[in-house]
Structure 1
Amino acid sequence: MKKIIGPMLLLFLILSACSGNKDTADPKKSDEAAPVNAETPINVPLINTEGDKVGEAELSENSKGVAIHVRVEGLQPGKRAIHLHETGKCAPPDFKSAGAHFNPGHKEHGFHNPKGYHEGDLPNLEVAADGKVDAVLKTADVTLERGKPNSLLDKDGSALVIHAGEDDYVTDPAGNAGDRIVCGEIVKEGN
């Protein structure tokens, strides 16, 4: 019996030592912490009608939609319309190169329009007395995932445009928002 217990005890100790000290994290917990969209946030430089950089936006996505963190300076205080446009091209001074609003659903403009709204419609920005904006806008109507009909990252990208006036949320096609005064190209390498 002693001859069997000795080797069995040794084998038990070796197996315990091999399986007992795991320094790696539980893979299930790591998977739960992973973001919904594995792509890194998209940084978008924002330019004015002279082509000068006046700010930036960062777009990221999670299970609730796309968040757009906008930081701009040098604007007139008050409410300013901001929209997502269909083409990722910002040619100053008028930014007409950005095309119309992002609207794959072919609706009319405005949150209060019974026939609306565009997927590119966003809430107005509030510009502070010092001409600065630091705001986060959220939308579940678009995605950063390629290949989806509502993706901002289609073959020609899209644009983020700030207007001179405020969006009335009703008037088609752009809410009487006025001229385009700031633009940023939403593109990712490989577009």
Structure 2
Amino acid sequence: MLRMVMTAGAGLAALVLAGCNDEGKMATGTPVAGGASATAMLATATGAPVGRATATDVAGGVRFTIDATGMPPGTHGAHVHMVGRCDAPDFASAGGHWNPTGMKHGAMNPQGPHQGDLPNLVIANDGRGTIAATIPGATLTALMDADGAAMVIHAQPDDLKTDPSGNSGGRIACGVFQPS
């Protein structure tokens, strides 16, 4: 019995020590104490506020969240765009999707996705919707370059495969990321 207890104790110690070898390697998406973040206040072309997007440094990437209110019900493409401008009426000033790795559009595209491709935002009948996604390999430093970045919500669902924008239609809301 004593031999079993000593063997079990040695096994437990080995597991604990093995865990220490990975101490500096946190799983992608794990919050980082004191990690940088940026916030974009979303608005329509008329300036009506419709929510907020955040970008936060996490282990191995950037976590994007969108909390939308007062938006049209349905499914909408949501993308990080490469320029921090949201000029009405069409928000074309936000440029194309943020794509520092030069990939094609969409998670279902074998040559994709862009780092700016997020899951579709589903808005309920009460005008509210939320999504959260971690983009592995992305960095807030790259996002917040000299010309900034914007979060854009589109009129239609993103088909998650058609380059360059997933056939997601016009841009109906936009917000410029600001360090927070």
Which residue of 1 is the match for residue 144 of structure 2? 153
Which residue of 1 is the match for residue 92 of structure 2? 96
Task: With the length of structure 2 as denominator, give the TM-score of the two structures.
Answer: 0.76
Which residue of 1 is the match for residue 176 of structure 2? 185
Q: Which has the larger radius of gyration?
A: 1
Structure 1 distance, partners of 2:106, 2:35, is: 30
The unaligned stretches of length 5 or more in structure 2 are 1-30
Structure 1 distance, partners of 2:85, 2:33, is: 25
SS in structure 2 of the partner of residue 92 of structure 1: coil
- Runs of 4 or more consecutive aligned structure 1 residues displaced over 4 Å after TM superposition: none
SS in structure 1 of the partner of residue 87 of structure 2: coil
Structure scoring higher RCO (CA < 8 A, sep ≥ 6) equals 2
Number of matched residues?
150
Q: Does 1:77 align with 2:73?
A: yes
Amino acid of the residue matched to residue 120 of structure 1? G
Paired residues of 1:87 and 1:156 also in contact (CA < 8 A): yes
Which residue of 2 is the match for residue 122 of structure 1? 118
Q: CA 1:187–1:43 in structure 2 vs 1: closer, same or farther (change >3 Å)?
A: closer
Which residue of 2 is the match for residue 137 of structure 1? 133
Which residue of 1 is the match for residue 158 of structure 2? 167
Q: Does 1:176 align with 2:161?
A: no
1:29-66 deviations in whole A, cap 9, x for unaligned? xxxxxx63634432221111112222112221221422
The unaligned stretches of length 5 or more in structure 1 are 1-34
Paired residues of 1:65 and 1:143 also in contact (CA < 8 A): yes
Task: With the length of structure 1 as denominator, give the TM-score of the two structures.
Answer: 0.72
RMSD: 1.8
Structure 1 distance, partners of 2:111, 2:55, is: 28
SS in structure 2 of the partner of residue 137 of structure 1: strand
